[in-house]
Structure 1
């Protein structure tokens, strides 16, 4: 394949004018939440706090802004009867199996090996292998995600209808935004979006139709929630052009740290400052430390406690009590009640439980501060703490001590840090916020080009039977790692395929692979870091015919290749004659890449006409024509 590239300016679409609802889903590793607003009152984003149909108290309702990302299946019943939410006892039995942490399996191939062998991720993957077999463990995680999001969606919609009435939402179209970690891979984005679409599209009632389903990174959403509030935007002394903010999204399972620089105040426009990082060190690991601590301290063996007793200690007394309020204070004591007895603990008992996870989180923040200082020559103005662990008094205390007089530590009260991601995700869609994002990989095409001894080795050399000369694979990167895409600038690349015989296109389809590399400074050489991300299946024009076939007793239309049409198409292509006077046919197409939101969108054109295409991912195939990556969404003015 030979290529050349150029670029043209793109056109923005018109703003949605009819009334619509925006629903934001914060799909977390350990807890999930939903917020919503509508086009008539975009400034008012309302978190769902009343959950029904989740397994919990006797009234079947729980009032918290988040609900556990946990689902239980009865082995002998269909998945539609799955239980979810609060008070699902730990462990499985012969009749039931419970899944947690399945979100991380969506990104399994990109997980660090250390994360893959961590107890929770390893246990979840082994369960999936048992239920779905080894080859289908990841598709199994997609199915479980679909089931969980369906239950979450239905409960949230039920709460919305209970508050506003069914008539308020009747036939209104809706836009849905789903959060994702900042370091989510393109394939994980693809799986997440597909699961959400399957969960929502069949349960749209009372809404009219689904206008859009988009993904937004979690720390980005949190930054919008914190910085786009009247108390900040209406105070020029608080936020200024060029300010740098570090967002620490400290969730239940993972901690994401990323930084943004303010590029505009009206409208608020942010741009990634340096590339973000993350790790598996969320608040659940503090819970683990507490449970191990309690198992050695209770006057009754921990294993012999009734499930409801452990639940009372871990949720009511710990999660909603000690864990949220703890910070080192002289003479402060903490108590745990069990079967009429009180056990008293002091700071020396409790602080070591926080140190491993909070220490890792502080390490990520310190690393990000160092990168900002090295690149920008100055510290960030403030560190914004969000997420479940972001509300920890202990973490904020430690950071204030560490950066005293250098960086301001901002932490909201109540459940604001916990719901920041969800509220910010709704704002991102409602206000069409403009975030300049940094691409975390190189994306491009590979073609056969001239062997260059300056960059190629003899292992790269290939003999080309068409041109009768020594060539080598050459990479053409259309997006590079570290690029910040601030405008809609489509890139057009020419692609040439050479064929000797009509049989080579007898399927009516030709394939264009898309490659990626995480290496900074990637050059033209196809080195060991380059891998095929996915491929575009392109359907040749005019070679398919519609026939009527019967499948499962139902007659319907079916596309099949017309061999005579393929032959006519082949002979219509221009000739290419090599040095030995061998005649080939040359198929020239244009590939047009354009950033759209967080995606790279691809069109393939032949003689100016757009071809039908399908994306082929490893183990999956779909109609989407784009790749989810970290790119800037276009502001619709």
Structure 2
């Protein structure tokens, strides 16, 4: 089987279409796209020409940075924003640099360790969603220009598809429904889609882990395993600028290629930017008494470390150098000679260590979760190019019987390419639920249970008479459950109302519990383990005509309403809905 061709599926649509995949990374971003022709296997292209980067042939990535003027207008972005001329102009004009803004979209449950340093401020008057959207808009405009200028008949092609463009936005494994909602709002703000239901439906989401899996299949990294299929599992580690996204899979079929997720995916803040942050703090301490310890000098030295030393480092026994100045720059006490800051290999290795340790812990946990089923790791992403990271993962995972491989070409654009592969090929047929999902219900009060007695202040009485306690948790979907795309998880509930007018604004809160595999009895609204995933609203007023009134306690009339809560979790986007039956016709909302 030839993985790079035989696993590709012809496009099944009836008309020509265009799908664009945006990989907005913490530090670098890129775009891939495919022109979809009916019954033809899509070919994936990358945008390789951006303003300010025309001289770099075949460059798929640009820095995720922008400059804003004092009025909050975006002035320049990407590669242009990284030029010395723009940096000087920004300083003269008082512009604000926007960077690392993707990290501001993270879920509150994901704690960010910045080594005592804070995220850069947002431009005045701008939210993280607006800044993210304006960068999306910049990428979109660059992509439109590239396609029009590069393809024969590019202008006609764009005019034919621009009103129905399809988009795939990738995000870290740890992002959830709230982050996807913010990204949709950003896409509207950036001008990618109109603010309508039809426009929003043109956005698809994929985790960076799953996108990276599809990229591995596309570039042939998976070929050896799939052709000599042994039945073992494998793990995709996407090491990017901000996050390390870990996803474990098993092959369930090769004709066609079908894979399943076999462990809840993981996401940790262990990307290359944190090596740089630790380096910045280290240089500040090391050069505290030196004339090179000024803020501007430290920023320059850290940037040179990023561009050279960090990328090339491979041996902790060898001295390392950060070339940042001219031969006249010298401070022997600080280890600076001929414009070079000398470091020991052990010092540089220590800057990498927390990220490597986090990666090892996450991968080891996945191997243990699958009972040792995972035997190989595919390392992709921009940080994967680090010889030290790659070598350390190989060395430390070898005792577990786990091998580590990485593609030889363009690991940095794996997510963007893989997002197109996800849209077109859809190789993953089942995923694992990461957390526990459920709703609040009323539990019957037991006066002999001390826990119930302690919660008497939360007791209520239904019109029909029973005494019940609020804040009870009912699990609809447990953690670590294999969920196929067609899977629907449903629980039936009933409620009693004393006024049918309340049915028009009926809503159910969906809760997410992150605390473990044991189902909690109660919802702790103050605990970090519990968060509201979404609120499902429905108009149940059609039930007014068929609901039967009943006499209740103290002569009050009430009506019993029966409904179901459905959770769809088989795709990369969570969906929930309320379902009910009016006479013989089912309704969903």
Do both share a fold (TM > 0.5)? yes
The answer to whether the aligner puts 1:584 opposite 2:558 as a matched pair is: yes
Q: Which residue of 2 aligns with 1:20?
A: 17
Instruction: Specify whether residues 93 and 261 from structure 1 end up closer, same or farther in structure 2 by C-alpha distance, changes over 3 A only.
Output: farther
2:545 and 2:209 map into 1 onto residues whose CA distance is 54
Change (3 A) 1:515 1:464: same
Q: Residues 426-437 of structure 1 correspond to what in structure 2 (within 5 A)?
A: 426-437=420-431
Asked if the contact 1:20–1:174 (Cα under 8 Å) also holds between the matched residues in 2, the reply is yes
What pairs up with 1:622-633 in 2 under 5 angstroms? none
Describe the superposition over 1:336-372 as per-residue Cα deviations: whole angstroms up to 9, x where unpaired: 25235544567x535522433x323332343244334
Gaps of 5+ in 1: 1-13, 133-139, 543-568, 614-637
Q: How many positions carry a matched residue from both structures?
A: 544
Question: For residues 191 and 349 of structure 1, what CA distance do their matches in structure 2 show?
Answer: 44
SS at match of 1:269: strand
Judge conservation of contact 2:77–2:135 (CA < 8 Å) in 1. Answer: no
Match 1:424 to one of 418, 422, 431: 418
RMSD (Å), alpha carbons:
3.8
**Number of the residue aligned with 1:488:** 486
Counting only pairs closer than 5 Å after superposition, residues 174-573 of structure 1 correspond to structure 2 as 174-202=165-193, 212-230=202-220, 232-233=222-223, 235=224, 239-240=228-229, 242-291=231-280, 301=292, 303=294, 318-328=305-315, 334=321, 336=323, 338-339=325-326, 342-343=338-339, 349-350=344-345, 352-356=347-351, 358-378=352-372, 380-404=374-398, 406-414=401-409, 416-451=410-445, 457-461=452-456, 462-473=459-470, 474-501=472-499, 504=502, 508-523=504-519, 525-528=521-524, 529-541=529-541, 573=547
- After superposition, the C-alpha distances for 1:213-249 in whole angstroms (9 at most, x for unaligned) are 111111221122113444643x467552532222222
Q: What's the TM-score once normalised by structure 2's chain length?
A: 0.80
- The 1-side partners of 2:387 and 2:133 are apart by 35
* Deviation of 1:283 (Å): 1.3
Looking at structure 2, the residues matched to 194 and 514 of structure 1 have their Cα atoms a distance apart, in angstroms, of 21
The structure-2 alpha-carbon separation of the partners of 1:60 and 1:460, relative to structure 1 and needing over 3 Å to count, comes to farther
Distance, in Å, in 2 between the alignment partners of 1:463 and 1:291 is: 57
Cα displacement string for residues 553-576 of structure 1 (whole angstroms, at most 9, x for unaligned residues): xxxxxxxxxxxxxxxx85763202
Note closer, same or farther for the CA distance 1:279–1:513 as it changes in structure 2 (3 Å cut).
closer
CA distance 1:364–1:243, change in 2 (3 Å):
farther
Of structures 1 and 2, the one scoring higher in RCO (CA 8 A, sep 6+) is 1
- CA change 1:503–1:236 in 2 (3 A) is closer
Q: 1:45-124, aligned counterparts within 5 Å?
A: 45-52=44-51, 56=52, 64-76=59-71, 78-79=73-74, 81=75, 83-85=77-79, 86-87=81-82, 89=87, 95-112=94-111, 115=113, 119-121=117-119, 123-124=120-121
Looking at structure 1, the residues matched to 365 and 440 of structure 2 have their Cα atoms a distance apart, in angstroms, of 32
Partner of 2:548: 574
Partner of 2:432: helix, strand, or coil?
Answer: coil
Whole-Å Cα distance in 1 between the matches of residues 372 and 72 of structure 2? Answer: 59
CA contact (8 A) 1:74 1:82 kept: no
The separation in 2 between residues aligned to 1:26 and 1:410, in whole angstroms, is 23
- Alpha-carbon separation, structure 2, partners of 1:304 and 1:579: 73
Could you say if the C-alpha distance between residues 98 and 515 of structure 1 is closer, same or farther in structure 2, counting changes exceeding 3 Å?
A: same
Q: Tell me if structure 1 keeps the 8 A contact 2:275–2:355.
A: no
Equivalent residues of 1:48, 1:159 under 8 A apart: yes
TM-score between the two structures when normalised by the length of structure 1: 0.74
Shift of 1:522: 4.2
> Could you list the per-position Cα deviations for residues 257-288 of structure 1 after superposition, in whole angstroms to 9, with x for gaps in the alignment?
33222222233333233333333232123334
- Distance, in Å, in 2 between the alignment partners of 1:339 and 1:200 is 46
Deviation at 1:447, TM superposition (A): 2.3
Distance in 2 (CA, whole Å) between partners of 1:349 and 1:149 is 41
Instruction: Classify 1:118/1:258 alpha carbon distance in 2 versus 1 (closer, same or farther; 3 Å).
Output: farther
- The counterpart of 1:154, out of the listed 120, 141, 145, is 141
Q: Does the CA-based 8 Å contact 1:146-1:199 persist in structure 2?
A: yes
Task: Give SS of 2:560's match.
Answer: strand
For 1:93 and 1:274, locate their aligned partners in 2 and report how far apart those are by CA, in whole Å.
52
CA distance in 1, matches of 2:390, 2:521: 46
Deviations 1:43-74 (A, max 9, x none): 5322222112xxx47x7999632122222221
C-alpha displacement at 1:445, in angstroms? 2.2
1:163 paired with 2:150, answer: yes
Give per-residue Cα distances to partners, 1:409-435, cap 9 Å, x unaligned. 212234x22111111111000112224
